[in-house]
Amino acid sequence: MNRVGIGYDVHQLVEGRPCVLGGVTIPHKTGLDGHSDADALIHAIADAILGAVGESDIGHHFPNTDPRWKNVPSRIFLEQIREILHGLGATLNNIDATLICEAPKINPHIKAMKAVIAEALMIRIDQVGIKATTNETMGFIGRQEGIAAMAVASVDMP
């Protein structure tokens, strides 16, 4: 049976943190605030995959109250989720994700992001779609106060 899940994540931009998106550190004057590396793209993808198989969200599996996940690279979450899929006998078909931000520029980093995500999930790079858009200077994203990401995942379940 083919199943689909959707994920969304948002993190505030702050000074003094690296800007990690899709497992890639992007040069920028601010970074994302959070318990782990605050990679909004990977967090949205994680929630999409978990939702597709009927699991609880990323906060349930990797709570920000657990010191084990403090400053952890979010690609580790994808590796753990890959094991959940394996345990369920599920096959990840593809992921499609969109980053929403005014800055930094995302397009120069998409190929590297796709490679990190594909490797963590042990899927082909062509099974990972990543796009970027702005918020046309509107709202907290337009004011460069944060970055949002949304994703969908398609999974085959036995």
For the whole prediction, is pTM greater than 0.75?
yes
What tens digit of pLDDT does each residue of 35-87 get? 999 999 999 999 999 999 999 999 999 999 999 999 999 999 999 999 999 99
Tell which residue, 76, 59, 130, 58, has the closest CA to residue 101.
130
Residue 105 has what pLDDT? 96
Contacts of residue 129, defined as CB under 8 A and 6 or more positions apart, other chains included, come to: 94, 95, 96, 97
pLDDT of residue 49: 98
pLDDT in tens, 105-133: 999 999 999 999 999 999 999 999 999 99
Percent of the chain topping pLDDT 90: 100
Handedness of CA 25, 5, 7, 98 (dihedral sign): positive
Q: Which helix (H) or strand (E) holds 151?
A: strand 146-156
pLDDT, averaged across the chain = 97
Write down all domains in the chain, each with its CATH number in brackets. 2-156 (3.30.1330.50)
pLDDT digits (tens, 9 = 90+) for 147-157: 999 999 999 99
The pLDDT score that the predictor gives to residue 154 is 98
What's the pLDDT score for residue 89? 98
pLDDT number for residue 137: 96
- Predicted pLDDT of residue 37: 96
pLDDT band for position 3 (50/70/90)? very high
User: What is the biggest distance separating any 2 CA atoms in the chain, rounded to whole angstroms?
Assistant: 46
Region 134-151 average pLDDT: 97
Q: How many CB atoms lie within 10 A of CB 108?
A: 10
